[in-house]
Amino acid sequence: MPSKKTDVTVQLVKYQKKELELKALLEITQAINENKSAAVLFDIFKFTCLVHLNIKSILLYMSNYDHFEKKISHGIKSKVPDAILSEKINFDKASGELNIEVGEGFSFAELENYLPVFHKEKMLAILFLKKKDEKEDLDLDFTQALTNIMVVALENKRFAKRQLEQERLNKEMEIASNVQRMLFPAVLPQTDKLKAKVTYIPHSTVGGDYYDLIQKSEEEVFFCIADVSGKGMPAALLMSNFQAALRTLLRSSSDLKMIVEQLNYTIFDNTKGERFITFFLGYYNYKKRELTYVNAGHNPPVLCWEGEKRTETLGAGTTVLGAFEELPFLEVGKRNHLKGFTLHLYTDGLTESFDKNEKEYGDDRFNQFVKSNLCLDPSVFHQLFFEELRIFSTGGEQRDDITLLSLRLQ
């Protein structure tokens, strides 16, 4: 029968153990409450386990999307991987058995215990341990609880960081969207000489399409449409620079060849060939009844000759802007003796609309629609066309920005 002295000794050891555990818990929770960095939390956790608990060696892996990263390693003699693919880890909750597929030369054999950490069915971490004193027990329940507190706190910290990053991104997108709206003309003309109508349907908050109409004088009008490669803030900033350069050039010259060459140089200089812009620039002189244009790799606009009741596409020009430091070729298209005409400029998002069976609307279908609806008021044309496109694409998914700019000049 054990003596009273032995009972007191056992109780004292248990008390001291609980006191150490409480101290360990206090240090971790205090660090969490003080919002210490992940690196500091890992150091405190490692120190707490090695000093206050009966732990000699410790190895901690934490989940990071599709893999687990090694975060703590102390007292490990064998070689262990820095990262393990999530698909290589299998834990059977019923049996408590953990299986990890690792490459040749790696081993966890020296570590006696493992503790998986879960949160809502998702494994967040795996803790491997080796006892310091074989004669003393290792309180696995407490160790797991302590690990759980730290890991969940770190996961919450990471989630909060992602939220802040998402909020920052949303703010940037909002700014980019506002910048983009400022690039577009606020009002399009509705006069006897010129009627214009645009329909712009962005794929996301910030699109890559751009259109503009500049009346330089009573007798001169410029109009353009463009599509920037890429989306989001980079595309919006490039488009902003492009518009500023275009408007500056148009104030000083009506030479389309010079304007397009300068725009190409500006884009290439800014992006070093990593981004490009498809672009169509047109210029009409009412007095001369002359249309000149350059198509830089853009979808050819459809020109409707009002007197002759026929259509044609305007493809003369050059390649996309920004791909080469110098444009390899450049042709300025010209049409004379225009008594009146309608012009439909559009981006590829319009013709690359798909129906529920993944069938593309296509350029041919659009050209046929134009031929069937010649010389209409632009507003009427848009109403009829977008009803057709809506019916066609019902059940399909919009994949790009859609822009249609229609002009009727008399």
Alpha helices in 184-255 (DSSP H): 232-252
AA letter at 341: F
Strands, sheet with 310-313, edge to edge from the N-terminal-most edge strand:
194-201, 402-409, 341-346, 302-305, 310-313
Tens digits of per-residue pLDDT, 15-70?
A: 566 666 677 677 778 877 888 888 888 888 888 888 878 889 999 999 988 899 99
Q: Is residue 13 very low, low, confident or very high in pLDDT (cuts 50, 70, 90)? A: very low
Residues in the chain: 410
Residue (of 281, 258, 280) closest to 327 by Cα position: 258
pLDDT of residue 11 exceeding 50, the answer is yes
Tens digits of per-residue pLDDT, 367-404?
A: 999 999 988 899 999 999 999 999 998 888 877 888 99
Provide the pLDDT for residue 381: 94
Mean pLDDT for the stretch of residues 154-158: 85
Report which secondary-structure segment, H or E, holds 150. helix 140-183
Residue (of 172, 239, 211, 188) closest to 402 by Cα position: 211
Lowest mean pLDDT among 264-273, 314-323, 325-334: 264-273
Q: How far apart are CA 403 and CA 34, in angstroms?
A: 52
Mean pLDDT for the stretch of residues 317-346: 92
Mean pLDDT for the stretch of residues 207-212: 82
Exposed/middle/buried for 364, CB within 10 Å: 0-12, 13-18, 19+? exposed
Phi and psi torsions of 318, nearest 5°: -160, -170
Report which secondary-structure segment, H or E, holds 233. helix 232-252
Lowest mean pLDDT among 85-94, 96-105, 123-132, 180-189: 180-189
